[in-house]
Chain A
Amino acid sequence: MSDVIVVGAGVVGAACAYYAARAGLDVTVVDRGPVAGGTTGAGEGNVLVSDKEPGPELDLALLSNRLWRELDRSVGGFEFEAKGGLVVAETADVRLQLADLAAKQGIQHENVPAHALRDLEPHLADGLAGGVLYPQDAQVQPMLAAARLLRHSAGGRGGRLPGGGAVRLRLGVTVTGLLRSGERVSGVRTDQGDLPGGAVVNAAGTWGGRIAALAGVDLPVQPRRGFILVTEPLGEPLIRHKVYTAAYVTNVASDSADLETSAVIEGTPAGTVLIGASRERVGFDRTTSPPVLARLAAQAVALFPVLRDVRVIRSYCGFRPYCPDHLPVIGADPRAPGLYHACGHEGAGIGLAPATGHLLAQLIQGHRPDLDPHPFRPDRFQAEESR
């Protein structure tokens, strides 16, 4: 029997397993698919502080940013790049708004006047009004990050690191129910037998609502679809930072179910350029939408005309785990003792994963968490409804 059963082998589940094991707990990670087979495998690998409004999510992002840097040193092998983010403004008005937001965030930043933009990004289009540089923004390869965290946790003798708990990985195993002893959740039932555990962590991402439903509790996690275009590998890197337009910040915080797109462009160590981002709430529909791809391409070319003749070789889509208030769900569920949640991070799951895992490990051990988890409590939606 494990101390902790983590449902979901995406980056959040991997971080939960890592920090729990580091605290000496024995962990079993169970996933119906392979490692990083869900939204993690469709992510760009954003580790962003720049796009967060001041408040609990920004605090979580700052903690996570620090932890990612630590993990790069202690685990490594997932293409961590502290490249910095550059938010650009099309108009003077928008530039003032960006500067205003940056001041309120109170994090490392540098206001960039129009004439200095090309010192940072030589291939930016003409006519931009300036921007803000966030040096803390970074990027990881999310699939490798999840896989390396799990591997590292289970990498020692007997599937454990010295002083750590054992980590076992059960892939291709579907959770079909939860075990109970009295009121308490005491493990998971799977299509390959029961897995008893002291605590169950729901790290099922966009499918987190279904795991919650197995416990008879409601968690309003919904899919918010996004497409990403991938170009052919470039001979030389043309884009140095993660570059996005101010509209991205607005779209991230929007509640609209309709299609929203904004340019988010960055190079990768493989030489390709990733072009996002679109958001729309259309359920789990994977059908490719040429109009969405066309809008992403048009926005990319508008920002970086040098990309005009670069070819797109593929696209992919994923489903961000969206909660109505855009905050993740982290913590014990008072409605189902023994069940913890770590899901609903929308488009920020890669970036927020280490802080989520770290806080959850503290909560499971009954330690005082580094951050107040109250804004992320699982029963907050219910409270709002009954108010």
Chain B
Amino acid sequence: MLLGDWDLVVIGGGPAGVAGALTAALHGLRVAVVDAGARLGGQYFRHRAAPPHSSTPGFGRFLGQVRALRERAEVLTEHQVWSVTRQVDGRLTVHCAARDGGRERPVALGCRRLLIATGAHDRVLPFPGWDLPGVLTAGGAQALLKGHGVVAGSRVVVAGTGPFLLPVAVGLAEAGARVAGVYEAGGGLGLARHPLRALGKAGEAAGYGVALARHGVPYRTRRAVIAAHGEHELEAVTVARLDRDWRVLGTRRVTCDTLATGYGFIPQIELGVQLGCDTRHDADGSPILAVDHGQRTSVPGVWAAGEPTGVGGWRLAELEGRLAGLSIAAAAAAVAATAPAVAAAAAVPTAANAPVPVPVPVPSVLLRRRRSARAFAAALLEAYPVRSGWQGWLRDDTLVCRCEEVPLARVREAQELGATDARSIKLLARAGMGWCQGRICGYPVACLAGEPPAPPRRPVAQPISLAALAAFDEDGTRTEPHTTEDPA
């Protein structure tokens, strides 16, 4: 089923997507927003509808934006996007699998412009026992708490690196969990010394610090959970003291029934990669979508905002969403103004008929704010790097890929057999071939291969039933090739 011909389809209903969609809709564009979740909010505003979570900054404002958006745009929740294609004439099609009760049904949205606001997911590192029930990602623990109001466990350890550990620990403690400790693998002082700390985050961090102290939660730096123990479920973890490079100096055992662990975030950019958008490496080496000052990607008609253009948190995501919305509205207005007679045809930007570069009428104050927020985000990534010593926490039988149950020994064997890069480790050892498509193990496997993580190639971005895929309506348009390997 091909649904409409939208001026703009926004993929992702988090802070970036909602702000972008609302901004464009307020400028008169016909907008549809698709999101895989049951409600809008993304990872950060993933709350029950009521009562609002008072402890989450910005939540009230976000709900206001969602209300305004629902009056002006089509909001499609429980729509998983598995593919995005761009036809030779520049029209874009967003292919979704929609959940109707227990069944999946294919939905295709036609549009002239696309905003990729697909957020990020947790970056995790493997360690012995990380596949035990009771071991969660930091984001997963927070999602349980926010989405379902579940206290993840009665005695919790939070471990990893980055400032996100703090709100996770505070959220758990405030919900009544006993947080046995927060273990930050980094030095922790990197940011405090940074001149940019004055930007306001430091105040937030101090607030979390006070909250942790109030609940009696110890916060330790240069510590990491390097093993999880338990017969059938988590019973305890090994906490190690680390040197600068995260090699183990000493260990002790901490009893707990839940571990929330996260080592930063991985931007979700596979839809941009499907379309052939240029990518670059962020300060932490993560592949991200390259965008210009108006949040445009290298592919005409395709914009991106928020974490896919670099992890930076919800405030920056919202700001970039607004910037993208303004830039999209300006592009649409320019097309309509320059060629009113053939507006219908010309409104479709194509490679040949590239959009006339229009000055983006973006208030310079927004651009300045984004610049400083981006600089702060980069400083955070640099302050909390993942150090290579974690590879020493693994044993031969430690699973690297949980979906396909691939232990470290099989990865090493694949390398022995001639797998010189992450892709051929996948081909020979099956790491990353399973359900999550390498979202979890892609980063550690790239590290083990000694290469920076490559832009994710996922032609089927989300699982889709064969019946739903078979029901796909061929519209007869040819997809524009963009990944031709070599012209020879």
The answer to whether A287 and B467 touch (CB under 8 A), given A41-B427, A143-B424, A233-B434, is no
Chain A residues with CB below 8 A from B95, complex form = 290
Judged by DSSP, the binding face of A is mixed
Q: Is the pair B418, A169 in contact by a Cβ cutoff of 8 Å?
A: yes
CA distance A33 to B420 in the complex (A): 8
Q: How far is the CB of A267 from chain B (nearest CB, A)?
A: 14
Q: Is the pair A301, B470 in contact by a Cβ cutoff of 8 Å?
A: yes
User: Which of A210, A230, A233, A312 contacts B469, CB < 8 Å?
Assistant: A312
Q: Is the pair B470, A291 in contact by a Cβ cutoff of 8 Å?
A: no
Q: Does A307 contact B (CB under 8 A)?
A: yes
The answer to whether A282 and B481 touch (CB under 8 A), given A35-B417, A151-B417, A312-B460, is yes
Chain B residues with CB below 8 A from A297, complex form = 466-467, 469-470, 472
Interfacial residues of chain A within 237-290, with CB under 8 A of chain B in the complex? 270, 275, 282-290
CA distance A35 to B418 in the complex (A): 5
Which residue in chain A gives the minimum CB-CB distance to B404?
A270
- Classify chain B: how many residues form its interface, as a range: 35 or more
User: Which of B93, B423, B466 contacts A37, CB < 8 Å?
Assistant: B423
Q: How far is the CB of B283 from chain A (nearest CB, A)?
A: 28
Q: How far is the CB of B442 from chain A (nearest CB, A)?
A: 13
Q: Is the pair B434, A301 in contact by a Cβ cutoff of 8 Å?
A: no
Q: Is the pair B435, A37 in contact by a Cβ cutoff of 8 Å?
A: no
Q: Is the pair A315, B459 in contact by a Cβ cutoff of 8 Å?
A: yes
Q: Is the pair A309, B472 in contact by a Cβ cutoff of 8 Å?
A: no
Chain B residues with CB below 8 A from A233, complex form = 434
Q: Is the pair A288, B463 in contact by a Cβ cutoff of 8 Å?
A: no
Q: Interface digits, A219-235 against B, CB 8 Å rule (1 contact, 0 not)?
A: 00000000001111100
Interface size, chain A (Cβ < 8 Å): 51
Q: Is the pair A171, B466 in contact by a Cβ cutoff of 8 Å?
A: no
Q: Interface digits, A72-84 against B, CB 8 Å rule (1 contact, 0 not)?
A: 0000000000000
Q: Is the pair B465, A310 in contact by a Cβ cutoff of 8 Å?
A: yes
Q: Does B3 contact A (CB under 8 A)?
A: no
Q: Does A162 contact B (CB under 8 A)?
A: no
Q: Is the pair A36, B460 in contact by a Cβ cutoff of 8 Å?
A: no
Q: Does B474 contact A (CB under 8 A)?
A: yes
Q: Is the pair A291, B418 in contact by a Cβ cutoff of 8 Å?
A: no
The answer to whether A287 and B435 touch (CB under 8 A), given A34-B420, A143-B428, is no
List 11 A-B pairs, Cβ < 8 Å: A34-B424, A144-B428, A147-B428, A286-B485, A287-B85, A287-B479, A288-B460, A297-B470, A308-B465, A311-B464, A313-B435
Shortest 5 CB-CB contacts between residues of A and residues of B: A35-B418, A294-B472, A34-B424, A298-B470, A147-B417
Q: 11 additional contacts, CB 8 Å, given A284-B486, A285-B481, A314-B460?
A: A35-B419, A36-B418, A37-B423, A37-B424, A151-B416, A286-B483, A286-B484, A297-B469, A301-B470, A311-B466, A312-B460
